[in-house]
Structure 1
Amino acid sequence: MAAHSGTGGPVRGTADTALSGEAAAIASLSITAATTDERLLDQPWHLALKDWPAENLAALPRGLSRHVVRFAPLGAGVVAIKETGEEAARHEYQMLRKLQRLGVPCVEPVAVMTGRMRTDGSALQPVLVTRHLRFSLPYRALFSQTLRRETLTRLIDAQALLLVRLHLLGFYWGDVSLSNTLFRRDAGAFAAYLVDAETGELHPQLSDGQREHDLEIARVNIAGEMMDLVEGGLLEDKVDPVATSERIMDSYRKLWAELTAEESFDLGERWRVNARIRRLNDLGFDVEEFSIKSTADGTSIRLQPKVVDAGHHQRRLLRLTGLDVQENQARRLLNDLDAYRADHQSEQSEEVSAHSWVRHVFEPIVKAIPRELAGKLEPAEVVHEVLEHRWYVSEDQDRNVPLAEAVQSYVDSVLRHRRDEAAIMLNPDEQTAAALAAAETDEG
């Protein structure tokens, strides 16, 4: 009994010491945060990220990173936590906040946490905390067995569009890659979101040299990522990594020219001003100002967009319905809204018709999705897919399929077989493989 008692004393003492050590570790934290959520302090900040216990983690798929990155629950959502240097963490946090204010698709910064230390008082790296973008996936999670060339092409086009938007705002990325981007489905295409702004710089305007350098970084990085997929047997054999990576150059330059190039035409062809605006609107951009100059001999004029802003269809749909969705989703839903108004020969205002469409089309589709399937895709993507499914079924059966019937057919034949993109949880085998891969990546 005495021996048991003697053993018990040091155990209790060790526990007390550990507890006070954890309290001291929490007290040492310095937090710069864009949230007042005190649950941030519930995480084991006294441990290196690679040592965090499973109960503190969310098993979501991660992209490649030269830093240790982990996902953790925070309230009803999830945050991504990255260990990095203090200067880098603060720079990226401030840069993401600036990009958010400019309306750039990027992850939301939550906090920078410095002064981390273990219970023994030794220092730990600071961390940057960002909010996980719901329904988004790293490019490596977008394949089932192999990544098809068509999917890869859409990813690169989305990356090119994001890069153009950033360059128009004067943002030099400095580390463009698919790994530093998250993708969300956008009416059959993809919308790209910036994840890593560690090397980013914001300027009043970028030079052609800065833009070209960013583009060259993208080309090289994407080629390397494709080669990595080929080595892992995750890419179709017919895909040429180098040729595929060249697509971002072509896609970027065509879009940049359409948005910024000067155009000359005869005075009698002034209709081309509106034609240029419509083309830019079709690409999802609004034009707030044009620079129009007459030539010296007065026979023609030169036209150049002055201020170009992305999200044309998003803003129109938001104004009409209050729905905040991706650009291509907005375009698709607006097309259905316009068709709905025409079908009902409505003489009501566009705003009134839009709210009627939300009540009789959008909301019934969303509400008809079984609760257990609601996390498969975000609501706007589900509505888009239902409308597409209805069109194909109606064409196949040569009749106008009622909306309720189309929804049920879509749920049974399509949605039930889709994976859950709100939170793709890894199974135990995948978690083990991911942990091994993370360990190898973290060491790099």
Structure 2
Amino acid sequence: MALHVVASRTDPALFRLPWSRPLAEWDDWYVVPLPLGLSRHVVRVVQVNRQFLAVKETTEELALREYELLRDLQRLDQPAVVPRGVVTGRTDLDGNPLPAALLTEHLHYSLPYRTVFQHGLRAEQVPALVDALVVLLVRLHLIGFFWGDVSLSNALFRRSAGGFAAFLVDAETGELRESVSDAMREHDLTVGVENIFAELLDLQASGDTDIDVDGQAVVAHLAEQYHSLWDELTAAEEFGTDEWSRVEQRIARLNDLGFDVDELDVQADSDRVRIQPKVVEAGHHRRELHDLTGLSAEDSQARKLLNDLAAFTAHFGYDDEDRAVVARRWLHTIYSPIVALLPDELARRIAPAEYFHEVMEHRWALSEEAGHEVDIFDAARDYVANVLPHRPPDSPSDLR
């Protein structure tokens, strides 16, 4: 049986990987020692030219199915790893069949949850990690994706403006439908509660964290946050005909959560109005920042950068100028010069938008200590010299 590669972009270097050997036997010449989450499959990260790829051994049927599902999620702009290909027809040197392999891009600046805990996650940050998984699950349910195996292990996490953003990394059990029923949503949530409780117990038993995690409180927070966010995004709301401002208030609340409302179902009778969001799309702040500046960031990071842009606008009295013109001025006089202060050897450790956010937080701390506002460029230089070298890296190249 001949080796067969199905790929979105075929790189000839893929064929030079040792496909005739089981993945578990690949040596350090090919494998990049990056932190990986727990998996029932053999998974390795390899470097192909300048690209890091995660390789997972599985059956041909499951590999092709997951590849197509991840491609669908990519087209729908969902937070999931990017599929690169499937390798089938593998045999060892004696002609014995080997498992198929699914290839996905390694998500830059992301870490599995165990590594996040190992890198000094504080107890008060655990709810933020859970909140990121809740947002991911709600986003997937909104577009009709049934996960089937919700867990911390099946996601990757990026630091995002003091919190986290979660990304689907394992879609093997997933299904994409017209919609997900309430029963299926509750099934996903129940499985998530059970898996995450077990993962937290295992985390503490293994000694991979020094903090005392209350597993019961964490999974209770997960369920509460999921229902709260789902209801905010989808529930109908009734009010009197003299309270039309509540429509704007509802939309504003959804925007604050990072969601756009493209369509509302509005029904009015003689004295009551009923509204319900029909089309809700995540990434409100991310799209706004990109439209104004061309920058790409997680939604929480984008919101922080937009806040700094607003402060810049007010400080220099640019309120009456075109917002896009002011945004480009902010980009060229504040954001880009701050990012340029990162030396090459440290620039790989942190995403630019997260670095800018952490500089702003550092500036606030320095200003509190000094009793006056510290210049943002002085704060950035101090952060690069005294904080960033000791910060756990988020980038693959620094974790090798």
Q: TM-score range by the shorter chain?
A: over 0.9
Question: CA separation in 2, counterparts of 1:221 and 1:120?
Answer: 40
Question: 2:225 matched to 1:230?
Answer: no
CA distance in 2, matches of 1:426, 1:286: 36
**Could you tell me how far apart the structure 2 residues matched to 1:246 and 1:216 are?**
11
Does 1:362 find its partner at 2:335?
A: yes
Is residue 284 from structure 1 mapped to residue 258 from structure 2 by the alignment?
A: yes
Work out the CA distance in 1 between the residues paired with 2:178 and 2:97.
38
Per the alignment, residue 45 of structure 1 pairs with 19
Rounded Cα–Cα distance in structure 1 between residues aligned with 2:399 and 2:335: 32
Q: 1:39–1:75: 8 Å Cα contact kept in structure 2?
A: yes
Matches within 5 A, 1:232-251: 232-236=206-210, 238-251=212-225
2:222 & 2:146 partners in 1: Cα distance?
16
Aligned to 1:348: 321
TM-score by length of structure 1 reads 0.87
2:181 corresponds to 1:207? yes
Query: What amino acid maps onto 1:248 in structure 2?
Result: L
More helix by share: 1
Equivalent in 368, 374, 378 of residue 405 of structure 1: 378
Cα distance in 2 for residues equivalent to 1:128 and 1:61: 18
Is 1:309 aligned with 2:287?
no
The answer to which of 140-149 and 89-98 deviates more is 140-149
User: Residue 340 of structure 1 aligns to which amino acid in structure 2?
Assistant: F
CA apart distance, 1:37:
1.4
Q: Which residue in 1 is equivalent to 2:394?
A: 421
Tell me, in whole angstroms, the C-alpha distance in 1 between the residues paired with 2:322 and 2:194. 51
Q: Distance in 2 between matches of 1:326 and 1:79?
A: 22
Give the conservation status (yes or no) of the 8 Å contact 1:60–1:425: no
Paired position in structure 1 for 2:149: 175
| Contact 1:59–1:425 (CA under 8 A) maintained in structure 2 | no
Residue pair 1:149, 1:236 contacting (<8 A) in 2 also:
no
- Select the residue among 37, 42, 63 that pairs with 1:68: 42
> How many residues are aligned here?
399
CA separation of 1:343 and 1:426: change in aligned 2, threshold 3 A: closer
Further displaced range: 274-283 or 137-146:
137-146
Q: What SS does the aligned partner of 2:396 have? A: coil
3-state SS of 1:174 partner = coil
Aligned to 1:22: none
2:65 match: 91
In structure 2, C-alpha distance between the alignment counterparts of 1:394 and 1:152, rounded to whole Å:
28
| Deviation of the 1:36 alpha carbon | 2.4
Cα deviation for residue 46 of structure 1 reads: 0.7
Deviations along 1:152-199, one digit per CA (max 9) or x if unpaired, are 211111001100000000000001100000000110000000000011
Separation in 2, partners of 1:33, 1:234:
37
Q: Is 2:97 the counterpart of 1:123?
A: yes
Greater Rg by CA: 1
Corresponding position of 1:433: none
Q: Is the 8 A contact 1:61 1:424 kept in 2?
A: no
**Helix, strand or coil: the match of 1:268?**
coil
Report how far residue 83 of structure 1 moved: 0.2
In structure 1, stretches of 5+ residues that fail to align are: 1-24, 428-444
- Secondary structure of residue in 1 paired with 2:29: helix
Q: Deviations over 1:258-292 (max 9, x none)?
A: 00011111111110000000000000000011111
- Cα 1:266–1:236 shift into 2, 3 Å: farther
CA distance in structure 1 between the aligned counterparts of 2:243 and 2:190, rounded to whole angstroms: 38
Rounded Cα–Cα distance in structure 1 between residues aligned with 2:236 and 2:210: 40
Residue pair 2:60, 2:100 contacting (<8 A) in 1 also: yes
**Are the structure 2 counterparts of residues 356 and 245 from structure 1 closer, same or farther at C-alpha, using a change threshold of 3 Å?**
same
State the distance in 2 between where 1:37 and 1:345 align.
Answer: 51
* Cα distance per residue 1:307-340 (max 9 Å; x no partner): 1000000000000000011000000000001111
Deviation at 1:228?
A: 0.3
5+ residue gaps, structure 2, are none
Q: SS in structure 2 opposite 1:356?
A: helix
CA offset at residue 239 of structure 1? 2.2
Q: Quick check: 1:266 aligned with 2:216? A: no
Say whether the 8 Å CA contact 1:226–1:241 is kept in structure 2: yes
Q: Name the CA distance, whole Å, in 2 between partners of 1:329 and 1:122.
A: 50
Counterpart-to-counterpart distance in 2, 1:45 and 1:238: 43
Instruction: Kindly report which structure 2 residues correspond to 1:330-341, keeping only aligned pairs within 5 A, or say none.
Output: 330-341=302-313
Match of 2:52 in 1: 78
Q: Partners in 1 of 2:326 and 2:6 — Cα distance?
A: 46
Does the C-alpha gap of structure 1 residues 145 and 170 become closer, same or farther in structure 2, counting only changes over 3 Å? Answer: closer
Root-mean-square deviation (CA), in Å? 1.4
Aligned to 2:3: 29
**Structure 1, residues 333-391: CA drift from partner, whole Å, max 9, x if none?**
00001111111112431111101111111111111011111112111000011112112
**C-alpha distance in 2, partners of 1:379/1:202?**
33
| Distance apart, 1:425 and its partner CA | 5.8
How far apart, CA to CA, are the structure 1 residues paired with 2:209 and 2:69? 34
**Rounded Cα–Cα distance in structure 1 between residues aligned with 2:11 and 2:314:** 47
1:287–1:425 Cα change, 3 Å:
same
| Closer, same or farther: CA 147–320 of 1 in aligned 2, 3 Å | closer
- In the TM superposition, what whole-angstrom CA distance separates every residue of 1:388-440 from its partner, at most 9, and x where no partner exists? 2112212321222222211111112211111221126668xxxxxxxxxxxxx
Corresponding residue for 2:299? 327
C-alpha distance in 1, partners of 2:33/2:340?
A: 28
- How far, CA to CA, are the matches of 1:301 and 1:39 in structure 2? 61
